[in-house]
Structure formats: C-alpha cells, structure tokens
Amino acid sequence: MRTVMIFDTTLRDGEQSPGVNLSTQEKVEIAIQLEKLGVNVIEAGFAASSKGDLNAVKEVAQVVKNASVCSLSRAVKRDIDLAKEALQAAESPYLHLFLATSPIHREYKLQMSKEQVKTRIREAITYAKKYFSQIEFSAEDAGRTEIDFLCEVVDTAISAGATVINLPDTVGYLTPQEYAKMFREVINRVPRADQVRLSAHCHDDLGMAVANSLAAIEAGVSQVECTINGIGERAGNAALEEIAMAVKTREAYYQVQTTLNLKEIHRTSRMVSKLTGMPVPGNKAVVGTNAFAHESGIHQDGMLKHRETYEIMTPESVGLNESRLVLGKHSGRHAFKTKMVELGFELKEEQVNPLFERFKEFADRKKEITDDDLIALVEEKLVHAQDFYVMESLQVTCGNQSLPTASIKIKRESDGKTFFEAACGNGSVDAIFKAIDRVAQEKVSLEDYRIHSVTQGKDALGEVSVQLRQGELYVRGRGVSTDVLEASARAYLDAINRLIRRKGDYPAEKKAVTTV
C-alpha cells in the first residue's frame, strides 16, 4: 500500500485565518502535539514575514525531532536566507518556496512574463539547493494556470532541484474531477514527475477542499497539505482529520495509508481550537461534538442492536473516549501526576505543584473531576504560563433590582504590586471587564465573547473565550472555572496579558518561564 505523507500547515496557512494569532509558545505546544499525531511535515510559519514568525519557526525547529520542520519562503534570496537561519537547528529542515503561475497572478500581482516566472523559479531553487536538501516548490494558483505552462513550470522546478512539487488550488475553485485531471496530465507529460513527491494543497471556498485532496490522492499524489479543523485563509484549508479518516475508513477503496496516530486526532483538534480561539462546529465531520451523537429513536435503536448500523468509524478510533470520573478532592499528588501522564502531558517536576494546587481548588468546588475537566485545567494553565497580571480575588454583586458591581484584586507579577478596583456595568460580566480595564489601563474593545460548558451537570466547568481589539491588534483569551463569572474574568485578563506580551512590554526576565 502507498503511504501518503501528511504536510500540516496549521501553524502557517491555518494561522492565516482571520483573527488568529498564535504566540511562539502556542505554536511550540501545537507542534509538539502534531509530532505526537504523527504528521510528516510541520510548516511552522513564514520566517521572512515577521520577527515573531522567524522566532516561532526557530523554536519549533528546536523541539521537533520526528517530523520535518518547514518554513514558507517567497522565491527571493532574502526569504531563503531567513528560512535557513530559522531552520538551523531542525533535525530535518524543509524549505517551501512558492511563486504564482496563473495568468491573473502573473499579469496583475507579479507583472511578470511566463519566461520571467520560470527564470525566477530556476534561480531561487538553484540558490536554495546550496542549503537545503528538501525543497518544495509550490506553483501558487496552479488550479487556474494554463496546463501547458504548468507542465513547463514543473519541469523547470524539477530540473533546478526541487524534491517536492505542490500544485495548490489556492482559491478553492476546482472540482475534484478537474483537480485530479491536472495531476494526471502533469504525471503523464512531465518526464521526471515520478521522481519527485507530488503534493496537493486545497482551499475550501466552495466546500470541496477535502474532496479535491482525496481526488488528488486517487490521481497519484503522495502528499496532502492540510490543517487541523480545516482552519485557514478565508473558508479554510482541507481538514487533516477528515482526509485521515476518509483514507482509513475507506482504505480498501483508496489503497493508501498514513503514518498518523489517529487516536491523537481529538486531542489535537481540541488544542488547536482552544489556542486559536476558533470553535469547532458541532456538526463538523470527525471532531464535532455531534459527530458520534445519535439523536433519533430509530438510530439509537439500531446502534444498540449493532453499532455499525449507523457508525462507520468509532469515537475511540479518533481518541474520543467517554468522559470518565477520574479524580476527586481526596486524590493525592501521585495519582494526579499519574493521571497527567495517562492524558499525555509530560510535566516537568516544577510544573506539577502549581497544577496540582489548581486541581485542588477545583476539587473543593466540583465533586466529580473528569478527564475533560483536567485537560481544560492544564491547557488553561499552559496558556497562562506567562502572566503579567494575575487575579487574586473577585467579588460580584448583582440582582434584578440592583446595579451589577464587581470588585477585583489583581497582582502585577513584575513588581508584586497589588491593585484593587471596582466598577459597575450593564451586567455582571460588563462590570468585571470594566474593573479589569481600570487596572490594566489598556484601551481595548470586546469583539467576541463565548461561553460553553466543558462537561455536563450543574457543577460543570464553564469555559469562556474572548477576543479583544486594540487598533489593528486582535488577541484572544481563555478562562475556565466552575463559576462562569470567574471564567470570564480569567479569560479577559488572559487576553490583556497576551496583548501586553504582543506589544513587547513584558519584562525580559519573565519571558523565560517554562510551559507545560
């Protein structure tokens, strides 16, 4: 059976989703999880696009050992040099060069002739070849490129030394039949097309990204480029989990395999959703909360009699287990640590205590602590690892006859100074946010506020996600608690902390704080 390589671009194309902005620390956390998932290539960013991206690619390159780490690069020397610098520490560095080839891009964006495009591709790959053995060339907007010219471009790139050729449907325009035909023509017409890895990269503007990627696999490509939860530019990219489960569930049809550890799908999806602040729709294939829920009586009856009547894959196969009762307030540090390992968190000794303390706080308030609760707690702590402001206490008074009022005590970690503030608002959440604003003195607007429960039951953990805006800068924050008002305060303060970090006001000594 052929192996199809999985090129994950969650941290590059996925991060290009409107409103998403991952910190270096978050990118590293996701990259470690992608490595556990078993992807073959992790596109960690676009080193030349900003200092932040350069740094993120560097840090990912340092930690990932079992996947190639890739940086995107325009077909220019400066970008290639920066990608080289960023990937210096990578065990398996991978350069992703791109240049648009379609008539509309050549004429309006690049203002280059066909010959100039080919020359640029040849020169860039020849230059990159001095530093990289793995070079992918992407013909941006290949889907709308004249097929004769596309074959010339592919031939040029292979002759110059590209080892992977990617033909993206950049604007999500093609149908599966058209996309497959394009690859078949290239395979038939370009003499050495069988000596490189052909790659598919699809966008979801017409909802066909996954279907197009699968059609490309049928046409013979040996790599697909995708993102977790299908996040990405505009309508997004092809969803990794959907491609993975399609080829697994229909293995006899596709006759291909991947190197993925499918049981890590759910955890990866959840982490990406949390850290990007992009919720997964309930009806999303494979990872949506309804993906394995059976509502109608007839379906439930069928499921009870024989699971396969209505289920073509099991929730367990993607790592979605029943939320079991695991720990309670009498559980000790040892049991907690063991459970963390079981859940896949490799904690350093110094990280156990603060997490255990937070767990104990919860255990006092919530009788039954499930796996999902624990994951939410650890992920929150992980995200809040570099706090500038820390909430020490919160008090809220409200009622239908009184003005909601919040009093808050916040510590500034850099100098230990404590602030007390109080504010009234239109509602309790508004009052809390106003009180925090008085402490932080940041002019922000609240762009988004979401709340959902992590598990079921009256004492379920509430998870709040907010998005704040300051000028052009958007930041997200998250908070969890059994009390939704406290969760709201934690989420808002988290967003303020991120804003401060993003603006670079954070004291240097605090940047070294380790993460889970």
140 touches, from Zn ion, ligand KIV, none (C-beta below 5 to 8 Å by class): ligand KIV
98 touches, from Zn ion, ligand KIV, none (C-beta below 5 to 8 Å by class): ligand KIV
Cβ at position 136, least distance to ligand KIV in Å:
9
Q: Which two tokens stand for residue 106?
A: 């050549």
Q: What span, in angstroms and rounded, lies between the C-alpha atoms of 312 and 285?
A: 12
Give 392-450 as a 3 state SS string.
EEEEEECCCCCCCEEEEEEEECCCCEEEEEEEECCCHHHHHHHHHHHHHCCCCEEEEEE
The verdict on 13 binding Zn ion (CB under 5 A) reads yes
The verdict on 141 binding Zn ion (CB under 5 A) reads no
Residue among 170 and 273 whose Cβ is closer to ligand KIV: 170
- Which of 11-19, 55-63, 335-343, 347-355 is the region at the interface with Zn ion (rule: CB under 5 A)? 11-19
CA distances from 154 to 67, 112, 113, 141, 246 (A): 26, 17, 16, 13, 29
Strands 462-470, 445-453: pairing is antiparallel
Q: Which two tokens stand for residue 27?
A: 């990118």
Of the chain, the end-to-end C-alpha distance in Å amounts to: 38
Give 180-225 as a 3 state SS string.
HHHHHHHHHHCCCHHHCEEEEEEECCCCCHHHHHHHHHHHCCCEEE
Cβ at position 222, least distance to ligand KIV in Å:
17
CA count, 13 A, side-chain hemisphere, 176:
13
Cβ at position 167, least distance to ligand KIV in Å:
9
Residue ranges of E strands in 454-516: 462-470, 473-481
Cβ at position 232, least distance to Zn ion in Å:
6
- Which of 13-21, 82-90, 117-125, 355-363 is the region at the interface with Zn ion (rule: CB under 5 A)? 13-21
Residues 6+ apart with CB under 8 A from 314: 292, 307
Q: Which long-range contacts (CB under 8 A, 24 or more apart) does 466-470 make?
A: 466/491, 466/492, 466/495, 467/19, 467/277, 467/495, 468/444, 468/492, 468/495, 468/496, 468/499, 469/444, 469/445, 470/442, 470/443, 470/444, 470/445, 470/499
Residue among 235 and 390 whose Cβ is closer to ligand KIV: 235
Residue among 10 and 497 whose Cβ is closer to ligand KIV: 10
DSSP state of 93: E
Query: What burial class does residue 206 get, using C-beta atoms within 10 Å of its C-beta: 0-12 exposed, 13-18 middle, 19+ buried?
Result: middle
Cβ at position 9, least distance to ligand KIV in Å:
7
208 touches, from ligand KIV, Zn ion, none (C-beta below 5 to 8 Å by class): none
Residue among 131 and 173 whose Cβ is closer to ligand KIV: 173
Query: What burial class does residue 141 get, using C-beta atoms within 10 Å of its C-beta: 0-12 exposed, 13-18 middle, 19+ buried?
Result: buried
Residue among 171 and 398 whose Cβ is closer to Zn ion: 171
3-state DSSP assignment of residue 23: coil
Annotated binding site for Mn(2+): 13, 201, 203, 237
Size of the site for Zn ion (CB under 5 A): 1
3-state DSSP assignment of residue 283: coil
Residue among 61 and 226 whose Cβ is closer to Zn ion: 226
Opening angle at CA 242, ends 167 and 142, nearest 5: 10
Residue among 201 and 501 whose Cβ is closer to ligand KIV: 201
- Which of 7-15, 183-191, 274-282, 456-464 is the region at the interface with Zn ion (rule: CB under 5 A)? 7-15
Q: What span, in angstroms and rounded, lies between the C-alpha atoms of 316 and 362?
A: 27
Residue among 13 and 152 whose Cβ is closer to Zn ion: 13
Q: Match 């024989």 to its residue by tokens.
A: 306
Cβ at position 45, least distance to ligand KIV in Å:
12
The verdict on 35 binding Zn ion (CB under 5 A) reads no
Residue ranges of E strands in 287-379: 325-327, 369-370
Which single residue brings its beta carbon nearest to Zn ion?
Answer: 13
53 touches, from ligand KIV, Zn ion, none (C-beta below 5 to 8 Å by class): none
Cβ at position 354, least distance to Zn ion in Å:
39
Cβ at position 233, least distance to Zn ion in Å:
6
Cβ at position 137, least distance to ligand KIV in Å:
10
Q: What span, in angstroms and rounded, lies between the C-alpha atoms of 1 and 54?
A: 38
- Which of 12-20, 100-108, 157-165, 335-343 is the region at the interface with Zn ion (rule: CB under 5 A)? 12-20
- Which of 10-18, 342-350, 427-435, 461-469 is the region at the interface with Zn ion (rule: CB under 5 A)? 10-18
Binding site for ligand KIV (CB under 6 A): 13, 72, 98, 138, 140, 166, 168, 170, 201, 203
Annotated binding site: 13, 201, 203, 237
Residue among 98 and 506 whose Cβ is closer to ligand KIV: 98
Residue among 24 and 166 whose Cβ is closer to ligand KIV: 166
Cβ at position 203, least distance to Zn ion in Å:
6
230 touches, from ligand KIV, Zn ion, none (C-beta below 5 to 8 Å by class): none
DSSP state of 105: I
199 touches, from Zn ion, ligand KIV, none (C-beta below 5 to 8 Å by class): none
138 touches, from ligand KIV, Zn ion, none (C-beta below 5 to 8 Å by class): ligand KIV
The contact set with Zn ion (CB under 5 A) reads 13
